[in-house]
């Protein structure tokens, strides 16, 4: 299959987890992929994997919490591949775990900068480039915590709710101009942190929140992102799609 043939796609936070799987799938579907991450090692590994599978990719280091880095990322994408059609604003951090009355101000600012402002900065520079390239689409990584609360995660929950608002507003603005913009809301996804650092009781409690009886895989989220990024989703814009094993169903 090559449903993204001749497209240029940008993925932030693509050095690990969901972002990495998105980059791999975009490339497998024929897109030229700019792999971006704040960590050079992971990003380069993603590029190596794409190239090993005969795909096309290029690594650019960026800190999405900095406006200049986002501008640079888009400039370099155009420099390298001559266009930008698809962006997946995925980079995000968890932040500290503490109740609101004890949450550190630093922790709050860091999470909001990366998870919320980072998505705005990304779109701010991606949108003009996508318009110049003749249209395309953007997928922003929200979360189930973009719809409901979760104890000890006030900054993350607030940022992810905000991402949905950014998505809806930009979607209205750019629907007539040929850019679709959507958000994705994963449930809890298997990550090294959850797999190794959590004790079994906490892990089981987390699994129990998902009626399907397990946590998600990064690749399962990437399938949804890929679908939204493809022409198959040509009538979907301003939407928030969940991939959460039933987390929000009850």
Partner 1 sequence: MKRLENKSALITGGAGSIGLITAQKFLELGAKVILVDLKEDSLQKAVESLDNPNASYIVADVTKSADVENYARKAADKFGKIDIFFNNAGIEGVVKPITEYPEDIFDKVIAVNVKGVWLGSKYVLPIMADGGSIIITSSVAGLSGTVGTSAYTTSKHAVIGIMRSVAVEAAPRKIRVNTIHPSPVDNRMMRSLEAGFNEKDAAGVKAELEKSIPLGRYAQPYEIADLVTFLASDESKFMTGTLNVIDGGMQI
Active site members: 156
Chain-centre distance for alpha carbon 177:
23
Q: How far is the CB of 212 from partner 1 (least distance, A)?
A: 5
When asked if residue 134 is in the footprint of partner 1 (CB under 8 A), the reply is no
CB of 217 to partner 1, least distance (A): 7
Contacts of 27 (CB under 8 A, 6+ apart): 33, 50, 53, 55, 56, 57
At 42 the three-state DSSP class reads helix
Considering beta carbons, is residue 82 or 135 the nearer one to partner 1?
Answer: 135
Does 171 engage in binding with partner 1 (CB under 8 A)?
yes
Query: Is 56 strand, coil or helix?
Result: strand
Interacting residue with partner 1 among 79, 176, 199, 201 (CB under 8 A)? 176
Burial class (CB in 10 A: 0-12, 13-18, 19+), 63: middle
Shortest CB 250 distance to partner 1, Å: 5
Structure tokens belonging to residue 164 = 């949905």
Binding flag, residue 208, partner 1 (CB under 8 A): no
Position among 39, 172, 193, 197 found at the interface with partner 1 (CB under 8 A): 172
19 forms part of the interface with partner 1 (CB under 8 A): no
Residue for token digits 């190239």? 51
CB closer to partner 1, 20 vs 180: 180
């Amino acid at each position: 299959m090559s449903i993204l043939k001749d497209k240029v796609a940008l993925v932030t936070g693509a050095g690990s987890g969901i972002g990495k799987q998105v980059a791999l799938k975009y490339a497998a579907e024929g897109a030229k992929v700019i792999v971006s991450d704040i960590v050079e090692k992971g990003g380069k590994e993603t590029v190596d994997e794409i190239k090993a599978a005969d795909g096309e990719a290029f690594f650019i280091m960026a800190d999405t919490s900095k406006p200049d880095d986002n501008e640079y990322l888009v400039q370099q994408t155009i420099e390298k591949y001559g266009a930008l059609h698809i962006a997946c604003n995925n980079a995000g951090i968890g932040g500290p775990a503490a109740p609101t009355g004890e949450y550190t101000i630093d922790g709050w600012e860091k999470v909001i900068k990366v998870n919320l402002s980072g998505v705005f900065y990304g779109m701010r520079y991606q949108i003009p480039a996508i318009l110049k390239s003749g249209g395309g689409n953007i997928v922003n990584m929200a979360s189930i915590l973009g719809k409901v609360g979760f104890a000890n995660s006030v900054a993350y929950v607030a940022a992810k709710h905000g991402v949905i608002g950014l998505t809806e507003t930009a979607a209205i603005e750019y629907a007539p101009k040929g850019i679709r913009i959507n958000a994705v809301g994963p449930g809890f996804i298997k990550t090294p942190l959850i797999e190794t650092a959590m004790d079994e009781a906490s892990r089981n409690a987390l699994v129990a929140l998902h009626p399907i009886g397990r946590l998600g895989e990064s690749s399962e989220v990437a399938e949804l992102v890929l679908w939204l990024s493809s022409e198959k989703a040509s009538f979907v814009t301003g939407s928030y799609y969940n991939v959460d094993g039933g987390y929000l169903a009850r």
